[in-house]
Amino acid sequence: MTDEAAAPPLAGAIAVEISRGVAAGHAGRLLSTLGAETVLVEPPEGNPLRREPPLLPPAHEASALFAFLAAGKKSVTCDLTSAAGQAGLSVLLTEADVLVHDLRPDERANLELDEPTLRARYPKLIDVSVLPFGAFGPKVDWRAEEINLIHASGEGFLLPNGLAAELFPERPPLKVYGHFAEYQGGVVAALGALSSLVSRVQGGAESVDVSIQDATLAVGAFALQRLGDGSLEHRRTRSFKYGGVLECADGYVELLTLEERQWRGLIELMERPDWMLDPALSDSLERSRRGPEINRAIRAWAREQRTADVVARAQALGVPMAKYASPAEVLSGPHEAARHLFQPVEIPGAGRLPVLSAPFHVDGAALPLRAGPPRLGEHQHLLSTRRHRERPAVAAEVS
């Protein structure tokens, strides 16, 4: 990537991250992968996520979560309660465009990182707070982990749906795997940072407040829309009338036919069984009414199918179907390989491993991961040296 014309979108921008949690970490990671130099400020004992499971085999020293979130970042250690630590941070913030953090409002005040102080000392610095319930409001001091947040935002109550809800109707609602809500908070925090970067030219720097609850609720917007339509969504009643998760001979696939031509494709895929040729079933509303009956037949058929074969035939017929791919299958997928979704980087304590870059290409190519996660304090020199910033050449005056 030496070609200046192909510089990634945030080339030349500098972000500083003070984080404990996944949301702020993901925001910093997105800015880093988009090209910003991103410096993770860690306490002397290291970011707590460095010790968070799962740990990478076989050595079980490095956290997979930390390695994923910190890939490409730089690391400095800084005791923010000491004068030296604060002076070091000040060097970083003087140069930075964005500070992403998950400090509570009381901690910010104690560390002199509150909004008025930041604005006075670093007038061009945009600060982005990402907290479970945001930086203001009645729940500002509430504690919350991922499982609490996904339920505070409504999606938890709505899961599982489909086959799992049918099989286990009495079980508690189910969270999405991993850190779904926190990742949402991270993406929204990055969006907030970037929006403020765009407006800074005219309006100056400002503070950005993101709540993981708000961010997760935003992606669940449809359920609130449905409430306005007069329907309170529930996990047991929002399943697809037919299709959905299907068990095949060697795994699971997802089938969803929303359009008429897709239903016709499904008839072909199932080799035109008599029941599907019933003229009444050419009416989509009738199919919806007879969903359970249709599902029994589709499920019986699916159990005879092999996933790779049936998905390939379905897609050739324009029938939306996908295999429930395991992580190992995703990692070895030819499509993912062709798009360079995973890029090998060195992970201290675990060796060279493929890490996901970003879920989008820019300028026709995957964004390059510049490095693996940093060693603790690997870039300590950044605290003491003032650097000349390398900015991309301005090719056009933009009003």
Partner 1 sequence: MKPLAGVRIADFTLHAAGPFCTHILSQLGAECIKVESAARPDIFRKPHPVYGRMGPASFDQVASNKLSVRINLKDAKGIALAKKLVGVSDLVCESFRPGVMERLGLGYAALAALKPVVVMVSVSSSGQSGPDSHFAGYAPLFGAWGALGYLTGYEDGPPVEMRHVMDHSVGVNAAMAAVAAIYRLRQTGRGGHVDVSAREVACSLVGEALLFAAAGGEPARIGNDHLRMAPHGVFRTREEDRWLTIAVGTDDEWRRLARLIDAPHLLTDPRFQTRASRHMHRQVLHGEVEHWTMTREAGEAERKLQAAGIAAHVSCNMEDIAHDRHLRERGTVVDVEDTAGRERAALKAPIRFSKSEVGMTRGTPRLGEDEDYVFGELLGLSREDRDVLIDQQVIF
Applying CB under 8 A, among 79, 112, 115, 268 the residue interacting with partner 1 is: 115
Footprint of partner 1 on residues 36-55 (CB under 8 A)? 52-54
Q: Is the dihedral of CA 86, 87, 92, 98 positive or negative?
A: positive
Footprint on residues 71-110 left by partner 1 (CB under 8 A)? none
Q: Shortest distance, CB of residue 381 to partner 1, whole angstroms?
A: 27
Sequence letter at residue 19: S
Q: How far is the CB of 246 from partner 1 (least distance, A)?
A: 9
DSSP state of 55: B
Number of residues that bind partner 1 (CB under 8 A): 168
Binding partner 1 (rule: CB under 8 A), the pick from 1, 84, 87, 167 is 167
Q: Is position 227 an interface residue for partner 1 (rule: CB under 8 A)?
A: yes
Alpha-carbon dihedral angle through residues 182, 187, 188, 192, given to the nearest 10 degrees: 130
What token pair was written down for 266? 């499904």
281 binds partner 1 (CB under 8 A): no
Query: Is residue 120 at the binding interface for partner 1, with CB under 8 A as the rule?
Result: no
What is the number of residues in the chain? 399
CA distance 399 to 394: 12
What is the enclosing helix (H) or strand (E) of 42?
strand 37-42
Q: Tell me if the bond preceding 44 is cis, omega within 30° of 0.
A: no
The answer to whether residue 270 forms part of the interface with partner 1 (CB under 8 A) is no
User: What is the smallest separation between the CB atom of 135 and partner 1, expressed in angstroms?
Assistant: 8
**All residues at 6 or more sequence positions from 386 whose CB lies less than 8 Å from its CB, including other chains:** 91, 94, 95
Which residues, numbered 245-264, are part of the site for partner 1 (CB under 8 A)? 245, 247, 252-254, 256-259, 262
Closest approach, Cβ 83 to partner 1, in A, equals: 28
Question: Going residue by residue from 169 to 188, which x/- string records binding to partner 1, judged by CB under 8 A?
Answer: --xxxxxxxxxx--xx--xx
Task: Please state the closest distance from residue 40 (CB atom) to partner 1, in A.
Answer: 16
Alpha-carbon span 262 to 199, nearest angstrom: 44
Which run of H or of E encompasses 353?
Answer: strand 351-356
Nearer to partner 1, 83 or 279 (CB): 279
Q: What count of other Cβ atoms lies within 10 Å of the Cβ of residue 229?
A: 7
Select from 37-45, 58-66, 99-107, 382-390 the region that touches partner 1 (CB under 8 A). Answer: 58-66
Q: Is 30 in the site for partner 1 (CB under 8 A)?
A: yes
Looking only at residues 126 through 155 of this chain, which bind partner 1 when binding is defined by CB under 8 A?
133-139, 142-149, 151-155
Q: How far, in Å, CA of 318 to CA of 337, rounded?
A: 24
